[in-house]
């Protein structure tokens, strides 16, 4: 899984293939996307009516957005890999992660899952635009001021389009005006901001023998691992809130101040996640690997919830050396290891 997540940022930079299988939708998608809306929209489960309408109109963009959700869930698993709840229950074949019972609650973990998913959609669609894979968008051709040291050129990632589509696609599920929907909308925006506020300048030199007589620069979305690291820090500092004035419906911190747009918000205390709980889509921690020498949340005392642990010699296989191909195929090798492990009882 670690190798898979590290390679997420290279998803759209790898060579295209003639006919590829979509890891989420189980589709065969041609090199130049000319997708049947029914194939995309009816395969991915539990779309809202607005999402379904968007999918019918923009099937290629929606396919990229759905891949962005998966990328976000992979990153969620990486960032919370040492926590009792580690996002693993959100990734199941032919399942919409946002249908999980846990995402209908107001926990810190819910906030992180919403934010990282919205960030994944923004990131993925932005990069897909710049590769000319989507009919509805292309490169961002904006010129960001005049510079003497370089010229704006190349093909900037279309973060504006990615942000707008992520907003339309992800926010459309939050039709209610209750505290839960308001917080979900806020956390969706925080996820999008983690991408658009960290766009980076990339440059290429031109000239004889490696000289840099002319330098061309463009804007690129940040590496998605950096986005995940940023949102993990926001998760650790997440703010518990309540609804303020009933007429305004403003979200207010417990100290009476309004939260920042980039803060992650929650309104319910998280459960222990120690035992399996189907109502929360929580598998518990029995069987989880723990680290008996760690001082972090993955130490055996904390992760095993006081139940103790066993020391076992295991032969472990996992996906490794994964490569992503447009759109939207994942190809991995299988690596096998023999090791001693500590496992929660």
Residue 104, pLDDT above cutoff 80: yes
Q: Phi then psi for 37, rounded to 5 degrees?
A: -55, -35
pLDDT band at 248 (very low <50, low <70, confident <90, very high): low
Interstrand relation of 151-152 and 214-220 (parallel, antiparallel or unpaired): parallel
Query: To the nearest whole number, what is the mean pLDDT of the chain?
Result: 83
| Mean predicted confidence (pLDDT) in 301-312 | 93
Long-range pairs for 148-154: beta carbons < 8 A, 24 or more residues apart:
149/215, 150/203, 150/214, 150/215, 150/216, 150/217, 151/214, 151/215, 151/216, 151/217, 152/216, 152/217, 152/218, 153/216, 153/217, 153/218, 154/202, 154/204, 154/216, 154/217, 154/218
The Cα 195–Cα 117 span in angstroms is 12
Per-residue model confidence as pLDDT tens digits over 19-37:
333 444 444 433 344 677 7
Contact 104, 96 (CB under 8 A): no
| Mean predicted confidence (pLDDT) in 254-259 | 76
Q: pTM here?
A: 0.81
Per-residue model confidence as pLDDT tens digits over 308-343:
999 988 887 888 888 777 666 678 889 998 888 899
Return the pLDDT at 40. Answer: 81
| Mean predicted confidence (pLDDT) in 225-236 | 96
Of the listed ranges 62-76, 169-183, 184-198, 236-250, the least confidently predicted one is 236-250
| Mean predicted confidence (pLDDT) in 1-5 | 35
Return the pLDDT at 125. Answer: 95
Return the pLDDT at 42. Answer: 82
Residue 264, pLDDT above cutoff 90: yes
Q: Is the dihedral of CA 42, 43, 48, 52 positive or negative?
A: negative
Return the pLDDT at 140. Answer: 85
The Cα 276–Cα 341 span in angstroms is 22
Nearest-10 Cα torsion for 223, 229, 231, 233:
-150
Cβ atoms < 10 Å from Cβ of 118:
31
Per-residue model confidence as pLDDT tens digits over 181-220:
999 999 999 999 999 999 998 888 887 766 777 888 889 9
The conformational region for residue 231 under phi > 0 = left, psi -120 to 50 = alpha, else beta, is alpha
Return the pLDDT at 206. Answer: 81
Of the listed ranges 106-110, 136-140, 300-304, 315-319, the least confidently predicted one is 315-319
Helix (H, G, I), strand (E, B) or coil at 202: strand
């Amino acid at each position: 899984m670690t190798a898979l997540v590290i390679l997420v940022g290279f998803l759209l930079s790898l060579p295209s293939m003639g006919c590829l299988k979509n890891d989420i939708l189980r589709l065969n998608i041609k090199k130049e996307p000319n997708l049947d809306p029914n194939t995309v929209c009816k395969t991915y489960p539990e779309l809202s009516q607005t999402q379904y309408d968007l999918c019918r109109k923009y099937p290629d963009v929606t396919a990229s957005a759905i891949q962005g959700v998966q990328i976000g869930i992979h990153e969620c698993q990486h960032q919370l890999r040492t926590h009792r709840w580690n996002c693993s229950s959100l990734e199941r074949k032919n399942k919409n992660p946002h249908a999980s019972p846990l995402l209908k609650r107001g926990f810190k973990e819910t906030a992180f899952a919403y934010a990282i998913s919205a960030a994944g959609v923004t990131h993925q669609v932005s990069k897909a635009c710049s590769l000319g894979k989507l009919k509805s968008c292309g490169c961002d051709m904006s010129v960001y001021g005049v510079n003497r040291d370089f010229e704006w050129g190349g093909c900037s990632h279309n973060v504006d389009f990615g942000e707008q589509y992520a907003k339309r696609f992800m926010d459309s599920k939050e039709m209610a005006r209750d505290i839960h929907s308001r917080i979900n909308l806020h956390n969706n925006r925080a996820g999008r901001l983690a991408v658009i506020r960290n766009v980076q300048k990339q440059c290429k030199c031109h000239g004889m023998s490696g000289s840099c007589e002319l330098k061309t620069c463009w804007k690129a979305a940040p590496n998605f691992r950096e986005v995940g690291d940023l949102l993990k820090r926001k998760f650790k500092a997440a703010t518990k809130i309540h609804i303020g004035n009933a007429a305004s419906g403003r979200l207010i911190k417990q100290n009476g101040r309004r939260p920042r747009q980039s803060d992650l918000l929650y309104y319910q205390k998280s459960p222990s996640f120690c035992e399996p709980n189907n109502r929360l889509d929580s598998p518990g921690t029995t069987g989880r690997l723990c680290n008996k020498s760690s001082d972090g949340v993955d130490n055996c005392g904390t992760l095993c919830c006081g139940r103790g642990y066993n020391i076992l010699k295991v032969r472990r296989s996992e996906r490794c050396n994964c490569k992503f191909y447009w759109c939207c195929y994942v190809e991995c090798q299988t690596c096998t290891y023999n090791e001693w492990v500590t496992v929660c009882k």
